[in-house]
Amino acid sequence: MKKYLLIGCSILFFGCNDGDLQIETVDFDSIETVQSCNTISASTENVLFKINGDEALILTLASSLIQNSATTTDRESAVPGSSQVTYRIFSETVTSSYFCDSPPPITPTVSEEIEAEGGTIFVTTTTENDTLFTHTIQLSGVTFLNENGSRITDLQINEFGTVTTSTE
Task: Measure Cα distances from 123 to 29, 80, 93 in Å.
Answer: 17, 16, 29
Burial 45-79 (b: 16+ CB within 10 A, else e): ebbbbbbeeebbbbbbbbeebbbbeebeeebebeb
Domain ranges of the chain: 22-166
Model pLDDT, residue 6 = 52
Model pLDDT, residue 128 = 84
Backbone angles phi, psi at 53, to 5 degrees: 70, -110
Model pLDDT, residue 18 = 44
Low-confidence ranges of the chain (pLDDT < 50): 9, 12-13, 15-23
Model pLDDT, residue 61 = 95
Q: Which amino acid makes up residue 130?
A: D
Q: How far apart (Å, rounded) are the C-alpha atoms in residues 104 and 106?
A: 7
Backbone angles phi, psi at 8, to 5 degrees: -60, -45
Model pLDDT, residue 138 = 94
Bridge-partner residues for 78, per DSSP? 120
Predicted structure pTM score? 0.80
Model pLDDT, residue 147 = 78
Model pLDDT, residue 7 = 57
